[in-house]
Structure 1
Amino acid sequence: MATVIQYQELGPADVLELVEVPTPQAGHGELVVEVRAAGVNPIDWKLRSGVRGGELHGTRRVGSDGAGVVVEVGDGVEGWSIGDEVVVVNASGTYATHVVVTPDQIIRKPAAISFEEAAAIGIPVSTAYQALRSLGVTEGTTLLIHGGSGSVGHAAVQFAVAWGATVVATASEGNHARLRELGAIPVTYGPGLVERVREAASQGVDRVLDAVGTDEALQASFELVEDRQHIGTIVVGAKAADLGIQAWSGGNPLPLTAQEQAWRAEAIPAVASLVEQGRFSFELGTVRPLAEAADAHRESESGHPSGKLILAP
């Protein structure tokens, strides 16, 4: 038997239930991965609570990111073998001991990355990479990141620094030391934010990535950057058109373009290369067993998780 996390009604974290189901089998063109770690992302609780995704019809399993070991290879699948260690992305139901995937939902796990770190790659890393590409961040760019201490923020800082950009990142005082280690110039949010950013980046700000969505972050961005198309958000996508800024996910009614999807696909090989060079690290938060999925959701919902939250089946 396999164990999965699912829910049958929208609501608070308490609707999550741990159940046993028959161990899945690989159909034609599929593989079964034994999950060693699953990533907890904000979209998981947003779907569960009904903030995103609309009505629920039937039972829904949780999670899209993870890492594990291939335990079954279905007919028609080439290039994969039992025992291969993989990163799982864009799958369905990774909060489980076993998950069925297709070849386009897995990549080989770099040996230098643990299963927990591999489970942290998916949404945060691909979102950060694509957002920076969409904004045109390159060598010489001065980038402001609102929310530099979150999972997306940490990834964005490291990509931008690796590409030769100057990065200023907002965070609470307790997270400043870590941001400095990653190569960013940390500033505290709150009254006087614009002045502190201008002091940190006397050359001016070229691009802004908003990962918090507060009125303060948006207003500061408008004061610091003249062209609003040089501002992008991953949080308040529903407001993007009215504000004249770019948006990806975060309630944006427009789907990602083919180019944006391609950039997201590039992210994992790109981060694997940086890890092997010692130029990228992961900020892991609490690692919990599957049975504590509700607690993981509550921590994610609080908006102040201490690193990427992981479930370990």
Structure 2
Amino acid sequence: MTDNTQHTAQHWVATDYGDLDVLRLEETDVPAPAEGEVTIDVRAAGMNPADYKHIARSGDRDALPVAIGYEVAGVISALGPNTQIASGAGAVGDEVLAFRVAGGYASSITVPARDVFAKPAGLSFPEAANLLLAGTTASEMLHVTGVARGDTVLVHGASGAVGVSLLQQARLIGARVIGTAGEKSVDTVRRFDGIPVAYGEGLQDRVRDLAPEGIAAALDCVGTDEAVDVSLALVEDRDRIVTIAAFDRAEQEGIRVIGGAMPASATYRDGVRAHLIRLAGDGDLVVPMAGTYPLADALQALELLTSGHPGGKLALLP
């Protein structure tokens, strides 16, 4: 259906580049969807470190204010003319998730229909809103390093959002995963069939003891020098080491780096969304939640997220 009515909503924007104090909750006009667009009443906005990292460094000042948030789940409130969502059809009232969007920390948002998919019934709105950024990142890490059945791989930061998705997706492939974790996160790694190993001094030797057959690939979700150094020591082929955080070291050492802003990464991640949604719908890919916050309390939630130890995913509820 076509809805030519523009309405207002609340959304979070960065009024400048810098720390969390540049964020403001403002009223905004939500445009009616044109052809190829969908308006979603947001039930949950997913939260990821990328939400604040891209405003922490200086950028194009002409682009300010910058709307925050890359993934949401909610209910279709309007479709543009002659428009279907990415998973097919779509109607007002349908429950959906959307990624990658611009400005997901909002009560309502109009987005390209190509980025909107039917929400599996078994996923809550907070879970659905947190599935795809971490999930597509993990999938690409496994893809670019060629992880295959029977491989033993090392995941640095296995208890984080990307790490937990890596554990599950690697298990489906048939790979064995050794995952670094702090003492409080050991049970999380074990829950998803990973073999936990404590990071810190002696990590390389501990991993060798756990994997006498050798490490086929290393997947770095944390970006520390320790993670890079141990990966280089244990993995012979540098094409099978990938990082999403150690950008300077990657350039120095000639290892792979991926990121959502890179064209090749964006193309791969867009292409794998439907597959990951099917896995989640079948119960093969779960999203552990740590908590939810009202949309108005986004700053409090972001403070927990920036601590690096939220204990699971967070969502904002308009």
TM-score, normalised to structure 2, is 0.91
- What is the CA distance between 1:206 and its match in structure 2? 0.3
- What is the CA distance between 1:278 and its match in structure 2? 3.2
1:141-166 CA-partner distances (Å, limit 9, x unpaired): 11100000110000011000111000
Question: For residues 24 and 81 of structure 2, what CA distance do their matches in structure 1 show?
Answer: 33
Q: Is 2:99–2:115's contact at 8 Å kept on the other side of the alignment? A: yes
Q: Is 2:36–2:114's contact at 8 Å kept on the other side of the alignment? A: no
Alignment of 1:285-304 (within 5 A): 285-304=290-309
Q: Is 1:39–1:120's contact at 8 Å kept on the other side of the alignment? A: yes
Out of 44, 53, 76, the position equivalent to 2:82 is: 76
- What is the CA distance between 1:226 and its match in structure 2? 1.5
Question: For residues 34 and 237 of structure 1, what CA distance do their matches in structure 2 show?
Answer: 36
**1:272 equivalent in alignment to 2:272:** no
**Matched residue type, 1:179:** V
For residue 66 of structure 2, what is the aligned residue in structure 1? 60
**1:152 equivalent in alignment to 2:162:** yes
Q: Is 1:2–1:24's contact at 8 Å kept on the other side of the alignment? A: no
Out of 227, 234, 238, the position equivalent to 2:244 is: 234
Question: For residues 218 and 305 of structure 1, what CA distance do their matches in structure 2 show?
Answer: 24
* Unaligned ranges ≥5, structure 1: none
Quote the RMSD (CA, aligned, Å): 1.8
> Are the structure 2 counterparts of residues 56 and 167 from structure 1 closer, same or farther at C-alpha, using a change threshold of 3 Å?
farther
Q: Is 2:228–2:249's contact at 8 Å kept on the other side of the alignment? A: no
For residue 189 of structure 1, what is the aligned residue in structure 2? 199
Question: For residues 182 and 140 of structure 2, what CA distance do their matches in structure 1 show?
Answer: 25
**1:25 equivalent in alignment to 2:35:** no
Q: Is 1:133–1:263's contact at 8 Å kept on the other side of the alignment? A: no
Question: For residues 106 and 285 of structure 2, what CA distance do their matches in structure 1 show?
Answer: 28
**1:47 equivalent in alignment to 2:54:** yes
- What is the CA distance between 1:84 and its match in structure 2? 1.4
TM-score, normalised to structure 1, is 0.93
Q: Secondary structure at the match of 1:190?
A: coil
Question: For residues 254 and 9 of structure 2, what CA distance do their matches in structure 1 show?
Answer: 47
Q: Is 1:211–1:233's contact at 8 Å kept on the other side of the alignment? A: yes
Alignment of 1:1-313 (within 5 A): 1-50=8-57, 53=59, 55=61, 57-78=63-84, 79-249=89-259, 255-257=262-264, 260-313=265-318
Q: Is 1:26–1:32's contact at 8 Å kept on the other side of the alignment? A: yes
1:31-83 CA-partner distances (Å, limit 9, x unpaired): 100011111111111122226x4545432111111111110011231322111
- What is the CA distance between 1:133 and its match in structure 2? 0.8
> Are the structure 2 counterparts of residues 275 and 28 from structure 1 closer, same or farther at C-alpha, using a change threshold of 3 Å?
closer
